[in-house]
Structures are given as C-alpha cells and as structure tokens.
Amino acid sequence: MQKKERFKRFLDYFTQHFPEPKTELNFSNPFELLVAVILSAQCTDKRINQITPALFARFSEPESLAAASVDEVFTYIRSVSYPNNKAKHLVGMANMLMDRFGGEIPATVDELQTLPGVGRKTAHVILSVVYNEPTMAVDTHVFRVSHRLGLAPLTATTPLAVEKALMAHIPKQYVPKAHHWLILHGRYVCLARAPNCKECALKDFCKYYEKYPISI
C-alpha cells in the first residue's frame, strides 16, 4: 500500500468515527492545561486528574503559584512521577510567566520552550489544544502507533523524525485532531506490550499486524 493511501485510510476512519477527539486531561483554562501537561510527563492522565483539583484550587493562576514554595507545591503532587523536579519546574514556570509574559501563556514554540519543564512535546500540546495550531506532539503513544501503522518509516528513530513524517502527509486542519487520535488509539487499543489487534479497525492496513497476525 502506498503511503498516501495509508494516511487516507487512517484519516477516513477517525474523521468518520471520532470526529472531535479531546485531551483526557481536565482543565478549565490555558494555565491549568500547561500545569497538567508538565505534570503528565511519564505519568498517566488518570493520575494527573486525581491530583489537579486540589492543586488548581490552591493555585488558580500564575501569581499564586509563583509566590508558592517548592515544598508546598510538592505536597500537592507527591504521588506523580518525579515530584521534586516537577515542583521546581512549576514554580519556575509560574515565575517566568509573570516576569516575562505578563501571566499570559505564550503562543509560540520557542517562547513556550523557555519555560521550565516545557519541551517541544509540551509546547506542541499547548499550541494545538489552546491555539488550535497545526502542531504534532509526539509522545510514546504517537511514536509507537505511527510506526506500527506504517505512517512513520522505521528510519524515523526520534520524536522529531516521526513529527516530520506525520506533518508531511496530514493536512493541516487535521493535525491537532490526529495528535489525539494517535494517542488515544495507543492508550486503549494499540497497547505497547499486548496490542488489541482483535478489536482494532485499522489492522487491515497495519504493518505490525501484517507482520504479527498471531497477536489477535
């Protein structure tokens, strides 16, 4: 199957069956989303959603978080992965938001990446969800599913290489949605250790299933 047809099949399925995918992180404004995405690194959205209600109740805007101590923030996020580093990142991020950006969430990749705890993936999530920009955040699910489906070549061995492969073939208007489609498919169907090929509607053009049909 030609790559163009492979992408068409992918887009046709999800635009028909899941036309409006959403992030599973709970938030009510861009600041809360930024905090949640920083916390979600190497941690499940389910865990983040369990601890953010109390965190957001205490720190509802950059000002209060910037004025907090790292030790206090730690008490709210102690159950997530790497809580010490993330507490430092959150306080540092809030201070930079206030000092450099007037408390507003930046709208460019370069500006977002100046914030503590914000890498390319996090910056792209913010731009995609908050500003509906055509940016592709490549996490472990996007990386895995893109390779298994044959959307990214095996030579794409870095998140940036996968990002470029996807961006080259997905129309801009679908990029923000495609990010969620790939994540959710990886989270609930195309699992890392035991992909649920039996329930997968994409297996008829999946390179992984073609190679390992016994996985059903």
The structural domains of the chain, ordered by start, are 3-21+136-215 (1.10.1670.10), 30-131 (1.10.340.30)
Task: Report, as residue numbers or ranges, the catalytic residues.
Answer: 121, 139
How far is the first Cα of the chain from the last one, in angstroms, to the nearest whole number? Answer: 22
Q: What is the mean pLDDT of residues 151-159?
A: 95
Query: Is 43 annotated to bind ligand?
Result: no
pLDDT digits over 186-207, tens only?
999 999 999 999 999 999 999 9
Q: Tell me: pLDDT of 116 over 80.
A: yes
pLDDT digits over 23-63, tens only?
999 999 999 999 999 999 999 999 999 999 999 999 999 99
Q: Tell me: pLDDT of 4 over 60.
A: yes
> Using CA atoms, how far apart are residues 28 and 70, in angstroms rounded to an integer?
23
Q: Tell me: pLDDT of 91 over 90.
A: yes
Q: What is the mean pLDDT of residues 14-23?
A: 96
Query: What confidence score (pLDDT) does residue 214 get?
Result: 63
> Using CA atoms, how far apart are residues 52 and 109, in angstroms rounded to an integer?
25
Average confidence score pLDDT of the chain: 95
pLDDT band at 121 (very low <50, low <70, confident <90, very high): very high
Residues 6+ apart with CB under 8 A from 7: 151, 169, 170
Query: What confidence score (pLDDT) does residue 1 get?
Result: 82
Q: What is the mean pLDDT of residues 123-144?
A: 95
Query: Is 200 annotated to bind ligand?
Result: yes
**pTM of the entire predicted model:** 0.92
Question: Residue 36 is which amino acid?
Answer: A
The two three-digit tokens of residue 57, written as one number: 């109740």
The two three-digit tokens of residue 79, written as one number: 């159950």
> Using CA atoms, how far apart are residues 22 and 170, in angstroms rounded to an integer?
18
Q: What is the mean pLDDT of residues 2-17?
A: 95
Q: Tell me: pLDDT of 216 over 60.
A: no
